[in-house]
Structure 1
Amino acid sequence: MSATQSPQAKAGHAGGHGHGKAGLAGLVVGAIGVVFGDIGTSPLYTIKEAFSGHYGLVADHDTVLGVLSLIFWALMIVVTLKYVTIIIRADNEGEGGIMALMALAQRTLQRGSWSAYAVGILGIFGASLFFGDSVITPAISVLSAIEGLEVTAPRLHNWIVPLAVLVLLALFATQRFGTAKVGRVFGPVTTVWFLSLSAIGIFNIGHNPEVLQAINPIWAFRFFLTHGSHSIFILGAVVLAVTGGEALYADMGHFGTRPIRYAWYFFVLPSLMLNYLGQGALVLEDPSAVRNPFYIGVPEWARYPMIALATAATVIASQAVITGTFSVARQAMQLGYLPRMAIKHTSYETIGQIYIPGINWLLMGAVLALVLTFRSSTALASAYGVTVSGTMLIDTLLLALVARATWLKARTWVVPLCVVFFIIDVSFLVANGVKFLDGAWVPVALAVLVFTLLRTWRRGRELLSAEIQKEGIRLDTFLPGLMLAPPVRVQGTAVFLTAQTGVVPHAMLHNLKHNKVLHERNVFLTVETLSVPYSHKRLRMDEIGDGFYRVIVRFGFMETPDVPAALMRSCDGGGIYFDPMDTTYFASRETVVASRRRGMPIWRDKLFALMHRNAAPATGFFRIPGNRLVELGSQVEI
């Protein structure tokens, strides 16, 4: 039997395709607030970093127009063409993001093949790079906004870092309350931010309209010809203008493709380019303005309000990155790459709004450490870009695979474009790679650490499952023997949680050994996580006989597993009735012991054992009530 589609799935699809109560205009405003926060704060530091001492550029006429031309065409090719026009078409049932794209790519390959394994490694490393980027974005965004004080009141220079720390502490401390209420002002505040970017840009362009020539790509080619091989390194600053472009795809499921495209084409992109061109016009008029062209270009009377607005915009951008990290972490848990953690839901209406305390505090510690170590957005810019470039490169590779296998008509032009995207992404990666010793190693090291944790947990779970399977008793031979001399039967339903469908659960063996009773109805329950965002066939139930049932409950990787609710809904389809007050859940909690067996190095065995000890119980993750639960322990060597 199969249960009907869950409310979570329906809600997810409604939100993903923009078919909810909100009209298109409301979704566009919402997308402006959530999707474009990161890329929208890039004008705070991009031009300033391009002319910092790190690159040795002189702010003369041709160089300024060349840098502006590179920024314009990076936005057009990488963001507009690659992400907004093409990659956003690769939706996994309405959901986007690198893990959704990985699942799509793996679906085109033979399951269990080497190529499917390689795609999995690629996707997980991309997700790890996303975690590295999530640490830098809040730090550099908030610092760059508050650094406007140096322009308006240089004597406040020593207060910049303490103020940034206070803002970030407040941001992370309020995560537990959720973004439902605060999120309502995200769209309007960010809309005002982009309108301000446009107004300031137009104001400054009016002083030197010649800067509009930068739209001509000839200036970008002249820049490369003039500066020779050294010119590729400036891409390390140009990439700052496109950071956040990958978020367009990741947030597709919240708003749908049309609102994101409309917001980008007709509002966000023009606002960004007007501001970049305005900063360029200011630098052409006064080369000394390169020290902070964004704030110097703001009229003096408006600088303090602009600092406040910029701080609000960077907080919103940071909020989007933090909630995105929560979402990716939950997907990783569902797909078996992260140990289960406590997840709190912050909204009764929106399933996607979650709070993961462990991730929040780890992220806060890493962000504050970066702020206190680097102490300026210029220093942090040297650490920025490698992880973003790596993520964009992996997106290109996975997109080429999906387009070649499934886009029968579009692949004739998408795959050749992927070659162009690949060259650009590699150029960005090389340009940022030279900053490795200047700080770029920090997010890379963090990404490698996260990747090690993800792969160790995945591999450790496989070894643990294989060990339980090897030492277990086959269900099809155990039950007939048990019923030859059955123990005392008691009323009620016993649900035994097991990951191995053909093996007798340890919890059942311990229950029979210690309590010497058997319930009237006994259910062997396995929870499966699918490679699609939402499950359409929630539950499958097979009767074994003699009051025994085998049940498989399926959840998509974007859903919150709720086993009792899934079992209750099975009653509507003609299955057995699960009375919440007459149902007892039995689970085994294994204690993992590291050994020198073949499988993983001993240090990874110990790491997995440590992660396993600190993982949240499966019962809590599956929302099983504690007053209906019996846990029985066992020890397993891997």
Structure 2
Amino acid sequence: MKNLAEKHQANGDNETIDLEKSLIPRKKVKFNYSTRSVIYGDIGTSPLYVFTAIFSTPPTDPRDTMGCLSLIIWSLTIVPLIKYVLIVIRADDHGEGGTFALYSLLARYSGLAIRGETRNDDLTIGNYDAVSIQSHKDTPNFIYRNKKIQGVLLAFVILGASLILGDGLLTPAISVISAVEGMEVQVPSLASGVVPLSCAIIFFLFIGQQYGTDKVSKCFAPIVSLWLFSLAAIGIWNISGDPSVLKAYNPYYAFNYFIRNGSDGFNVLGGVLLCITGVEALYADLGHFNRHAVQISFSFMVYPPLVLAYMGQAARIIEDPTVVSNTFWITLPQTGFIYWFTFILAILATIIASQAMISATYTLIHQAMRLDCFPRVKIIHTSHHHQGQIYIAEINWILMALVLVVIIAFQHSANLTNAYGVAVASVMLITTFLLTTAIQVVWKFHAVVAIAFFLTFGLIDGAFLVSTLQKVPDGGWFTLSFGALLATIMGIWKWGTTLRVEYELKNKTRLDNLFEDHSGTASSENSNVLAENSTANGNETITSATTTSAAITSTTITIRQSQKNQLRLLGSGLKVHRLPGIGMFYQDASLGVPLSFSHFIQHLPAAPETLVFISIRPVAVPYVGEEDRLVVRKVGLYEGIYKVIARYGYMEPISQSRDFIQKLIEAIRAIDPEQTSLKPEAHPEEQVVTYVVSRQQVRPNSGSWFKKTLLKCYVFLSNNSRETHGNWHIPHEDIIDVGMTIPL
């Protein structure tokens, strides 16, 4: 520990960092759904359409059916069970899974900042792992050293997230319509009602999102469990007619299928892939549960029923190949009660699968926003008890409209299977690539292990992807187009936001460039005495006037004690009036004086007695505990002026409410007990707080026509997105907008 502390000090890291405390694991802040089985809704409803998607015409050779069954069994075994349940979900970011969790891990272990500059005081966050505390300056990995690799990594993450969102568009459509089609098997005259009923279910499902899923979620686990039990029972009933299908566990039948059918046999992988859709949702929803619960429940409660269901369907196809026209419903016992009970259960199960993807879409959008990868939208928390239950109105209505268009356009589940699968295969390959990198960067295994993992699972994922790409002309283009559009939007937003933050960093100023030196003399000795560091409450507040004054104010300025509250503008000598209250000036970069303050003070020479230059800093962890939330420093010798960094994880909502202000006041008092404007006896509601935010107008200023076009797209997205502070719980009457133009 001592060596690490000395290493940081040798590198010029003057911040006081309690490494002993930073290595103590802190109790993770988690939200907990009662929807214990909701993550299996997608993969659990796949038996509704897999065999129908594989066989466009009835198979004439029973060996083809056995071969496809063997492919399904081994796909379920290798991809969901071995790859995801046993390996991938181990790459969790403090319990969180998914594409952005992997990106967070790689960014943190490579020393990359989510926004702006890298800060060593982030190492004091309890969620930062011990290994990641090792200085990336001394031992930089290949990601930190190469900007191009960083760009490729971010591009893969954005593309993967976009394709998952595309999967979220098709899952409700194909799940619901494949379940509703069951009624036309028993009552053919109802065939014309499949699409209207499917649209009605989707409509009411999305309408109900605004009320939250807290109450409905209590029914999810029993329904999915009952559905899986029904799949197992129906599968055993069908297997009893032809137990020979049990031999499909022998991979010989899969290899024999490829040998006999050649390239035509390769095409069937696009249909086989549908049996493992939902594996990415399983990984992305990891934060709702824990790894061991997922491993046990999938291995013993999900995997066996699915295998039995597919075996039973294969047994019936061997007996009567014509059942492939609607395999699941025709292979059901046609007894009235059993059939219609299963029909209702299937409808409920597909609603759950749809709900899982809708909720995952909201979560993914929220994560992307927190990592500066998506335009700002309004986040509504629908539960007082579960932090993860959110609702995004704009996304909800857009998603509903698109799902309804998909149902009306494709009409039948068989048509939808052509569009389904391309996104799944692409995301699987992207996850393999990211995890291959994490094996070496995060887990510190030898490169040979990472290469072996990529060659093994990358070959399987690549085979699925190549097979599904053949579906592009028949509907796969829709998924790819939607994913490409989302990836373009996310990429432009990330690029434009990065340029805007870099502009603020390049044009940062110091208080010395705004205000006069009252004494007219300089004394570095006195300055250094007055700029001593102070540390309070462990990790809660970290003070370093020396470091801050290097970026904000000169260390060679002397202000008399009696005059240090007096400010005069540099050049004009105009006196700046100090008014009662707290002024919160926000900035994207955590260095220098906010541009909003420079514009404000030049147009209106008045400032609150307590000036807070605050930066909302996203960090590469899911959650930041309240003890790690604030980094507070006093700015040089100026009385009542403070630099604050508020750190938030990518799974957390940002809050600047009265509770936050009270904690901020307590932190300021801890490092500056002589502060007279913040009375200890004053109630937080009595404090006058003004929130000053910049309303920035980006103006394309230079560069090629291509860059100017991209900047115009960014400006369009910015003008049509929510305000930066829209989700921060700030009273609207206390906000002041400072307009400024940023030429890029």
Task: Please give the range of the TM-score, normalised by the shorter of the 2 chains.
Answer: over 0.9
Instruction: Note the alpha carbon deviations across 1:330-367, whole angstroms, 9 max, x for none.
Output: 01100001121100000001111100111111111111
1:585 corresponds in structure 2 to 691
* AA aligned opposite 1:609: V
Q: How much does 1:229 deviate?
A: 1.7
Task: State the alpha-carbon separation in 2 of the partners of residues 261 and 97 from structure 1.
Answer: 16
2:201 corresponds in structure 1 to 167
* AA aligned opposite 1:335: L
Q: 2:606 aligns with which of 517, 525, 548?
A: 517
Instruction: Note the alpha carbon deviations across 1:31-55, whole angstroms, 9 max, x for none.
Output: 32x11011001000001111114xx
- Residues 30, 287 of structure 2: 8 Å contact kept: no
Task: State the alpha-carbon separation in 2 of the partners of residues 352 and 443 from structure 1.
Answer: 27
Instruction: Note the alpha carbon deviations across 1:286-340, whole angstroms, 9 max, x for none.
Output: 1111111211121122222212111110110010001101011001100001121
- Give me the TM-score of the superposition, normalised by structure 2: 0.80
* AA aligned opposite 1:226: R
Task: Say which SS state the counterpart of residue 514 (structure 2) adopts.
Answer: helix
Task: Say which SS state the counterpart of residue 519 (structure 1) adopts.
Answer: strand
Task: Say which SS state the counterpart of residue 94 (structure 1) adopts.
Answer: coil
Which structure 1 residue ranges, 4+ long, deviate > 6 Å from structure 2? Answer: none
* AA aligned opposite 2:692: F
Task: State the alpha-carbon separation in 2 of the partners of residues 455 and 540 from structure 1.
Answer: 30
Verify: 1:637 aligned to 2:743, yes or no.
yes
Q: How much does 1:393 deviate?
A: 0.1
Verify: 1:257 aligned to 2:321, yes or no.
no
- Residues 583, 628 of structure 1: 8 Å contact kept: yes
The sequence identity of aligned pairs, in percent, is 37
Alignment of 1:586-605 (within 5 A): 586-598=692-704, 601-605=707-711
Instruction: Note the alpha carbon deviations across 1:50-76, whole angstroms, 9 max, x for none.
Output: 1114xxx62531011100000000000
Q: How much does 1:451 deviate?
A: 0.7
2:656 corresponds in structure 1 to 563
Verify: 1:348 aligned to 2:390, yes or no.
no
Task: Say which SS state the counterpart of residue 251 (structure 1) adopts.
Answer: helix
* AA aligned opposite 1:110: Y
Verify: 1:381 aligned to 2:417, yes or no.
yes
Q: For the structure 1 residues 452 and 618, does the alpha-carbon distance in structure 2 shift closer, same or farther, using more than 3 Å as the test?
A: same
Alignment of 1:186-205 (within 5 A): 186-205=220-239
Task: Say which SS state the counterpart of residue 622 (structure 1) adopts.
Answer: coil
- Residues 437, 450 of structure 2: 8 Å contact kept: no
2:395 corresponds in structure 1 to 359
Task: State the alpha-carbon separation in 2 of the partners of residues 476 and 103 from structure 1.
Answer: 37
Task: State the alpha-carbon separation in 2 of the partners of residues 410 and 245 from structure 1.
Answer: 27
* AA aligned opposite 1:538: R
Q: How much does 1:81 deviate?
A: 0.5
Task: State the alpha-carbon separation in 2 of the partners of residues 363 and 59 from structure 1.
Answer: 41
Task: State the alpha-carbon separation in 2 of the partners of residues 504 and 14 from structure 1.
Answer: 35
Q: How much does 1:634 deviate?
A: 2.0
- Residues 514, 598 of structure 2: 8 Å contact kept: no
Verify: 1:494 aligned to 2:588, yes or no.
no
Task: Say which SS state the counterpart of residue 493 (structure 1) adopts.
Answer: strand
- Residues 160, 430 of structure 2: 8 Å contact kept: yes
Verify: 1:77 aligned to 2:82, yes or no.
no
Verify: 1:43 aligned to 2:136, yes or no.
no
Q: How much does 1:118 deviate?
A: 1.4
Verify: 1:394 aligned to 2:430, yes or no.
yes
Please identify, of 462-471 and 626-635, the stretch whose mean Cα deviation from structure 2 is larger. Answer: 462-471
Please identify, of 510-519 and 76-85, the stretch whose mean Cα deviation from structure 2 is larger. Answer: 510-519
Q: How much does 1:240 deviate?
A: 0.1
Please identify, of 250-259 and 571-580, the stretch whose mean Cα deviation from structure 2 is larger. Answer: 571-580
1:539 corresponds in structure 2 to 630
Task: State the alpha-carbon separation in 2 of the partners of residues 472 and 95 from structure 1.
Answer: 36
Task: State the alpha-carbon separation in 2 of the partners of residues 534 and 621 from structure 1.
Answer: 17
Q: For the structure 1 residues 208 and 128, does the alpha-carbon distance in structure 2 shift closer, same or farther, using more than 3 Å as the test?
A: same
Pairs aligned (count): 619
- Residues 2, 540 of structure 1: 8 Å contact kept: no
Q: How much does 1:570 deviate?
A: 3.5
Verify: 1:318 aligned to 2:346, yes or no.
no
Please identify, of 155-164 and 610-619, the stretch whose mean Cα deviation from structure 2 is larger. Answer: 610-619
* AA aligned opposite 1:508: F
Q: For the structure 1 residues 414 and 216, does the alpha-carbon distance in structure 2 shift closer, same or farther, using more than 3 Å as the test?
A: farther
- Residues 177, 198 of structure 2: 8 Å contact kept: yes
Task: State the alpha-carbon separation in 1 of the partners of residues 425 and 194 from structure 2.
Answer: 29
| Structure 1 segments unaligned to the other structure (5+ residues) | 21-26
Task: State the alpha-carbon separation in 1 of the partners of residues 733 and 495 from structure 2.
Answer: 33
Q: 1:368 aligns with which of 381, 396, 404?
A: 404
Task: State the alpha-carbon separation in 2 of the partners of residues 500 and 417 from structure 1.
Answer: 39
* AA aligned opposite 1:554: R
C-alpha RMSD of the superposition? 2.3
Q: How much does 1:583 deviate?
A: 1.3
Q: For the structure 1 residues 112 and 415, does the alpha-carbon distance in structure 2 shift closer, same or farther, using more than 3 Å as the test?
A: closer
Task: Say which SS state the counterpart of residue 227 (structure 2) adopts.
Answer: helix
Task: Say which SS state the counterpart of residue 698 (structure 2) adopts.
Answer: strand
| Structure 2 segments unaligned to the other structure (5+ residues) | 1-15, 111-142, 518-566, 673-677
1:52 corresponds in structure 2 to 56
Verify: 1:244 aligned to 2:278, yes or no.
yes
Task: State the alpha-carbon separation in 1 of the partners of residues 706 and 576 from structure 2.
Answer: 41
Q: How much does 1:618 deviate?
A: 1.6
Task: State the alpha-carbon separation in 1 of the partners of residues 275 and 254 from structure 2.
Answer: 15
Q: How much does 1:117 deviate?
A: 2.1
Instruction: Note the alpha carbon deviations across 1:485-506, whole angstroms, 9 max, x for none.
Output: 4411111111101113344334
Q: For the structure 1 residues 59 and 190, does the alpha-carbon distance in structure 2 shift closer, same or farther, using more than 3 Å as the test?
A: farther
Q: How much does 1:2 deviate?
A: 10
Task: State the alpha-carbon separation in 1 of the partners of residues 266 and 89 from structure 2.
Answer: 28
Task: State the alpha-carbon separation in 1 of the partners of residues 643 and 156 from structure 2.
Answer: 35
Please identify, of 571-580 and 445-454, the stretch whose mean Cα deviation from structure 2 is larger. Answer: 571-580
Q: How much does 1:407 deviate?
A: 2.6
Q: For the structure 1 residues 350 and 476, does the alpha-carbon distance in structure 2 shift closer, same or farther, using more than 3 Å as the test?
A: farther
2:647 corresponds in structure 1 to 554
* AA aligned opposite 2:433: L
- Residues 194, 268 of structure 1: 8 Å contact kept: yes
1:176 corresponds in structure 2 to 210
- Give me the TM-score of the superposition, normalised by structure 1: 0.92
Task: Say which SS state the counterpart of residue 550 (structure 1) adopts.
Answer: strand
Task: Say which SS state the counterpart of residue 601 (structure 1) adopts.
Answer: helix
Q: For the structure 1 residues 480 and 95, does the alpha-carbon distance in structure 2 shift closer, same or farther, using more than 3 Å as the test?
A: farther
Q: 2:734 aligns with which of 617, 623, 628?
A: 628
Q: How much does 1:469 deviate?
A: 4.4
Instruction: Note the alpha carbon deviations across 1:236-287, whole angstroms, 9 max, x for none.
Output: 0000000001112111111010111111000100011111111111111111
Which of these two proteins has the greater Rg computed from alpha carbons?
2
- Residues 456, 604 of structure 1: 8 Å contact kept: yes
Task: Say which SS state the counterpart of residue 585 (structure 1) adopts.
Answer: strand
